[in-house]
Amino acid sequence: MAKVELVVNGRAVKGEAEDRTLLVHFLRENLGLTGTHVGCDTSQCGACVVHVDGRAVKSCTMLAAQAYGSEVTTIEGLALNGELHPVQVAFREHHGLQCGFCTPGMVMSSVDMIRRHPEGLDEATVRAELEGNICRCTGYHNIVQAVLDASDKMGKGAVKAA
């Protein structure tokens, strides 16, 4: 068994898991954070994207043991004091979801994307950057609009705070 110590959404957590336990299963089953989804099991769909030490990664392709000592942010950790994160607001305003299954990964990827592009985004960049996230409702158009809007609204100053 592996000891797993993480800071998840600002809270220190300790647990034990089999060495082969994937981070996504540790988050969902040990911590009850079921907002992070498992979509494909083949490391392609991005529904499981979380931030590990500030970077978007597929939590289905990382062992919980590999994340030992890391800071993890999941979709549950984005809203602050009951206020949705600007990217969540934009997804709601632009109806950037249909069935919603891919949404946690889309939102986490988008937050990371906006952070990495403080100069702003255009449609082609957003589409290229969403290469690792699949929406099987094929609702990409509104997702792209939501990311562009969130990027604009967050501006350069707000990007750093995200």
Partner 1 sequence: MYETHYHRATSVEDAAKNMNAAEDGKFLAGGMTLIPTMKQRLASPSNLIDLRHIPGLKGITITGRTVRIGAVTTHSDVSTHAELAKLCPAITFLAGHIGDPHVRNMGTIGGSVANNDPAADYPTALLALDATVVTSQRSLPASEFFVGLFETALEPDEIVTAIEFTAPDKAAYKKFPNPASLYAVAGVFVAKSGNDVRVAVTGAGENGVFRADELEAALTKNFNAAALDDVTVSADGLMSDMHASADYRANLVKVMAKRAVAEIAG
Q: Is 39 in the site for partner 1 (CB under 8 A)?
A: no
What are the angstrom distances between the C-alpha of 33 and each of 7, 17, 108?
Answer: 13, 16, 14
- Could you give the string, one character per residue 127-146, with x where binding to partner 1 holds by CB under 8 A and - elsewhere? --x-xxx-------------
Task: Tell me the closest approach of the beta carbon of residue 56 to partner 1, in angstroms.
Answer: 5
Residue selected from 63, 78, 126, 154 as contacting partner 1 according to rule CB under 8 A: 63
Task: Tell me the closest approach of the beta carbon of residue 99 to partner 1, in angstroms.
Answer: 21
Residue selected from 47, 56, 90, 121 as contacting partner 1 according to rule CB under 8 A: 56
Q: Is 113 in the site for partner 1 (CB under 8 A)?
A: yes
How far is residue 98's CA from residue 103's CA, in Å, rounded to a whole number? 9
Q: Is 61 in the site for partner 1 (CB under 8 A)?
A: yes
Nearer to partner 1, 2 or 93 (CB): 2
Task: Tell me the closest approach of the beta carbon of residue 58 to partner 1, in angstroms.
Answer: 5
Instruction: Quote the tokens at residue 57.
Output: 């990664």
Q: Is 109 in the site for partner 1 (CB under 8 A)?
A: yes
Q: Is 46 in the site for partner 1 (CB under 8 A)?
A: yes
Q: How many CA atoms lie within 13 A of 75 on its CB side?
A: 26
Nearer to partner 1, 34 or 43 (CB): 43
Interface positions with partner 1 (CB under 8 A): 2, 18-20, 22, 41-44, 46, 49, 55-58, 60-63, 65-66, 68, 109, 112-113, 116, 129, 131-133
